[in-house]
């Protein structure tokens, strides 16, 4: 089974927001293929009659009353921001020039 192509890896890089060099695409194409072949193994036993378990210990939603409490200050929230202005995170342009 070989379904990992360089084009697919490039596409996954776009979806994952990781710019990949040609060299990385080539390397990942080879390595992911080996891993994907191996993990296809799970379909051997994961038949329709088996229920999926998302979480190791059964849990319920945890709710609390929505009351104001101690929270981080604006300074603490922004202390690691690459760029901040006027008590907000500053981001780069969201729309490209063509828009």
Partner 1 sequence: MSAGDDIIRLTAADLASRLRAGEISSVEATRAHLDRIRDVDGDVHAFLHVNDQALEVAADIDRRRVAGEELGALAGVPLAIKDVLVTTDMPSTSGSRILEGYMSPYDATVVSRSRAAGLVPLGKTNMDEFAMGSSTEHSAYGPTRNPWDLDRIPGGSGGGSAAAVAAFEAPLALGSDTGGSIRQPAHVTGTVGMKPTYGGVSRYGAIALASSLDQVGPVTRTVLDAGLLHDVIGGHDPHDATSLEDVWPSFADAARDGATGDVLRGLRVGVIAELPDSGFQPGVSLRFRAALDAMAAQGAEIVEVSAPHFEYGVAAYYLILPAEASSNLAKFDSVRFGMRVIPHAGATVEEVMAATREAGFGDEVKRRVILGTYALSAGYYDAYYGSAQKVRTLIQSDFDAAFSQVDVLATPSAPTTAFRLGEKLDDPLQMYLNDVTTIPANLAGVPGISIPAGLAPEDGLPVGIQFLAPARQDARLYRVGAAVEALLVEEWGGPLLDRMPLQGGVA
Quote the tokens at residue 79: 């202390």
Which residue in 1, 18, 67, 85 binds partner 1 (CB under 8 A)? 18
Give strand pairing partners of 88.
85
Please state the closest distance from residue 2 (CB atom) to partner 1, in A: 14
Which residues within the stretch 20-59 sit at the binding site for partner 1 (CB under 8 A)?
20-21, 24, 27-28, 31-32, 34-36, 38-39, 41-47, 50-57, 59
Q: Are 4 and 36 in contact (CB under 8 A)?
A: yes
| Number of residues near partner 1 (by CB under 8 A) | 58
Q: What angle do CA 72, 77, 78 make, to 5 degrees?
A: 150
């Amino acid at each position: 089974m070989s379904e990992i192509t360089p084009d697919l890896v490039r596409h996954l890089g776009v979806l994952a927001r990781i710019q990949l060099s040609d060299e990385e695409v080539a390397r990942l194409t080879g390595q992911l293929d080996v891993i994907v072949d191996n993990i296809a193994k799970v379909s051997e036993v994961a038949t329709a009659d088996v229920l999926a378990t998302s979480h190791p210990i059964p849990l319920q939603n945890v709710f609390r009353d929505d009351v104001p409490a101690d929270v981080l200050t604006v300074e603490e929230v922004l202390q690691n921001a690459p760029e901040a202005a006027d008590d907000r995170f500053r981001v780069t342009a969201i729309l490209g020039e063509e828009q």
